[in-house]
Amino acid sequence: MATALSLSELVIRGEPDDRPRIPADPDSASTLEWLGLAVGELPYVLSSARTVDDINYRSHAPNAARMHTGLIDALSQHLASSAALVHHALLAHHRVYPELGDAETTLTDVDFLSHALVEDHPPLWRRFELLEGGYVTALAAAVQASGMRGDQGPAMVDDALTRALATLLGHARLNARDREIVDQQAAG
């Protein structure tokens, strides 16, 4: 089933996107640089999510299913692109704060949290507000906490990045599930 999509698969899908402002040396870019790029992608991912929410899945218009899958696929790519940027932010954060542990441990939390989103959400249902609330809030928290002094800031950034990635992965899984439903409706 589509919900088996992993974060690494999602990030790989988002990596080849053309970003004119990508850091010259991605391995030395800061968490905040990557978060800035992710914030720049917000209008695209959110408008695409709103468009997919507004699809009339019951339409019998010619080529309706093809148009629906095109819109769903566009949202999938925006989610993947955003996930790649936030993933880079997480890796940069763990390079600076190795005391947080291995980034792979955080990715286990991402998978767990995203499954909860998929299991508790009906197919083909409006999710723009959920994506907007979860992802935007997590990005904002990461940006704000990155400027904090003291011991709590790094852990708060790590938590916010985890929530942002979980939201993106959960929505990518829901989007893939919706695409399967549209494909089944078109075939049947």
Rounded CA gap, 184 and 164, in Å? 30
Helix (H, G, I), strand (E, B) or coil at 20: coil
- Residue 126: pLDDT band by 50, 70, 90 thresholds? low
**Nearest C-alpha neighbor of 123 from the set 54, 183, 177, 69:** 177
- Kindly state the average pLDDT of the residues 87-111: 89
User: Domain map of the chain by residue range?
Assistant: 2-15+26-187
- Kindly state the average pLDDT of the residues 74-87: 94
DSSP result, 34-100: HHHHHHHHHHHHHHHHHHHHT--TT--STTHHHHHHHHHHHHHHHHHHHHHHHHHHHHHHHHH-GGG
Rounded CA gap, 186 and 145, in Å? 46
pTM higher than 0.85 for the full model? yes
Q: Is the pLDDT higher at 49 or at 127?
A: 49
The answer to whether residue 124 scores a pLDDT higher than 70 is: no
Rounded CA gap, 62 and 161, in Å? 42
Model confidence pLDDT, tens digit, residues 40-75: 999 999 999 999 888 877 777 888 888 889 999 999
